């Protein structure tokens, strides 16, 4: 079977192999025939070893190699013992970064399961979706609703649910201003959820005019090209200061800018995962009562809600299908920041 695995030297790219075999099903697990998988910037961090070497976090057939991918969608093709209580053959499910968790700790029982200390992550601590077949935990694989295009559903599986959740973390209210720093896969969906679901006004910052134009078509009212304009001055001038700033740019400087576009009592919601430290103006943070919060993907309930807005047509991810053989060139395009929306690997044509 074909699969994309992290290279032994963690050089940020993947090896495309064709001798992949998924592990056998344990109690409560199901096998999924993968249809489509988006590439998220987190896959690039994983392949580059930014969070540690993923190949050292498990073995497959005695070889160290980790399948990437956590924006996956496919159909259940086999049920392990105990899995039929939750899934049936043919169900279309998602394979998300939040793979499963212990189910009984304080975080799991209080609606904060993504912070479970025993949570596992697809394409990082367990094999992910970027393969013709993948194994899921039936209790944790959220179903894709009828009426939602499966290619678009891949983007909601990570980018969409992450921004839907982080807008909740930012306590976004109708009529408020939200700034979105970085209009890539996550940022483009932040615009849609903020505008179409939360009823907020949106300011978008990116260095690419095509992405800003796509954001405008999706309802953003303030567009700032960070390469041509003074981000802090422009956003403050045009919004009067935002209520919450969503940072999706893989760039330390975007975090410093974000704090300076907040109005008093504003919230900076950190979503992107660059490798540096966050540098915030201390006086601004203190004198304006600024809050800084991190936000990590979403729970199963968040994903179900995020999918439903997609099924209702309130959120329509910008997606383009590409063949499996193109994965490393998509990684290059993402490094250059040149993709508007997401490129999605098509496993249905293999």
Q: Which residues of this protein are in contact with ligand NAD, per CB under 6 A?
A: 40-42, 45, 158-159, 162, 181-187, 205-208, 211, 226, 248-251, 253-254, 271-273, 295-297, 334, 337
By the rule CB under 5 A, 271 interacts with Zn ion = no
In this complex, which beta carbon is closest to ligand NAD, that of residue 28 or of residue 170?
Answer: 170
State the DSSP code for 145: P
Residue nearest to ligand NAD according to CB distances in the complex: 184
CA atoms of 151 and 243, how far apart (whole Å): 33
Non-local CB neighbours of 90 within 8 Å, separated by 6+ positions: 75, 76
CA atoms of 145 and 269, how far apart (whole Å): 29
In this complex, which beta carbon is closest to ligand NAD, that of residue 83 or of residue 96?
Answer: 96
CB of 270 closer than 8 Å to CB of 292: yes
Choose the stretch contacting Zn ion; rule: CB under 5 A; options: 38-46, 61-69, 143-151, 278-286. 38-46
State the DSSP code for 22: P
In this complex, which beta carbon is closest to Zn ion, that of residue 87 or of residue 186?
Answer: 186
In this complex, which beta carbon is closest to ligand NAD, that of residue 16 or of residue 253?
Answer: 253
* Helix (H/G/I), strand (E/B), else coil: 31: strand
CB of 112 to ligand NAD, least distance (A): 13
Name residue 124's beta-bridge partners: none
Among 57, 105, 280, 292, binds Zn ion (CB under 5 A): 105
C-alpha 151: how far from chain center: 15
Q: Which does 251 bind (CB under 5 to 8 A by kind): ligand NAD, Zn ion, none?
A: ligand NAD
Q: Which does 262 bind (CB under 5 to 8 A by kind): ligand NAD, Zn ion, none?
A: none
Both structure tokens of 272 = 């992107």
Q: Which does 241 bind (CB under 5 to 8 A by kind): Zn ion, ligand NAD, none?
A: none
CB of 160 to Zn ion, least distance (A): 10
CB of 34 closer than 8 Å to CB of 349: no
Q: Which does 182 bind (CB under 5 to 8 A by kind): ligand NAD, Zn ion, none?
A: ligand NAD
CB of 271 closer than 8 Å to CB of 244: no
Q: Which does 271 bind (CB under 5 to 8 A by kind): Zn ion, ligand NAD, none?
A: ligand NAD
In this complex, which beta carbon is closest to ligand NAD, that of residue 1 or of residue 57?
Answer: 57
CB of 66 closer than 8 Å to CB of 134: no
Name residue 244's beta-bridge partners: 178, 267
In this complex, which beta carbon is closest to ligand NAD, that of residue 11 or of residue 85?
Answer: 11
Buried b (16+ CB within 10 A) or exposed e, 63-95: eebbbbbbbbbbbbeebbeebeebbeeebbbbb
In this complex, which beta carbon is closest to ligand NAD, that of residue 163 or of residue 197?
Answer: 163
Residues lying near Zn ion in the complex (CB under 5 A)? 40, 42, 101-102, 105, 108, 116, 158
């Amino acid at each position: 079977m074909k699969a994309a695995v992290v290279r032994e030297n963690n050089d940020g790219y993947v090896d495309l192999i064709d001798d992949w075999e998924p592990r056998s099903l344990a109690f409560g697990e199901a096998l999924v025939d993968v249809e489509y998988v988006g590439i998220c910037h987190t896959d690039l961090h994983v392949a580059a070893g930014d969070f540690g070497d993923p190949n050292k976090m498990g073995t497959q057939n005695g070889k160290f190699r980790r399948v990437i991918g956590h924006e996956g969608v496919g159909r259940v093709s086999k049920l392990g013992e105990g899995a039929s209580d939750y899934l049936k053959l043919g169900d279309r499910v998602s394979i998300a970064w939040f793979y499963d968790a212990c189910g009984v700790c304080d975080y799991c029982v209080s609606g904060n399961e993504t912070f479970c200390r025993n949570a596992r992550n697809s394409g990082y601590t367990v094999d992910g979706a970027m393969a013709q077949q993948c194994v899921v935990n039936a209790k944790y694989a959220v179903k894709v609703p009828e009426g939602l295009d499966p290619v678009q559903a891949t983007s909601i599986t990570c980018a969409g649910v992450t921004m839907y959740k982080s807008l909740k973390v930012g306590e976004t209210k109708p009529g408020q201003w939200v700034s979105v720093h970085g209009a890539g896969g996550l940022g483009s969906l932040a615009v849609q959820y903020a505008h179409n679901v939360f009823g907020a006004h949106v300011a978008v910052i990116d260095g690419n005019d095509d992405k800003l134009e796509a954001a405008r078509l999706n309802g953003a009212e303030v567009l700032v090209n960070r390469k041509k304009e003074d981000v802090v001055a422009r956003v403050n001038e045009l919004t009067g200061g935002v209520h919450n700033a969503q940072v999706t740019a893989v760039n330390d400087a975007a975090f410093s800018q974000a704090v300076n576009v907040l109005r008093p009592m504003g919230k900076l919601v950190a979503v992107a995962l660059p490798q540096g430290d966050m540098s915030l103006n201390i006086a601004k943070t203190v004198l304006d009562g600024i809050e800084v919060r991190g936000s990590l993907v979403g729970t199963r309930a968040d994903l179900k809600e995020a999918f439903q807005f997609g099924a209702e047509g309130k959120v329509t991810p910008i997606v383009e299908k590409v063949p499996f053989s193109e994965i490393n060139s998509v990684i290059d395009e993402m490094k250059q920041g040149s993709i508007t929306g997401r490129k999605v690997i098509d496993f249905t044509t293999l």
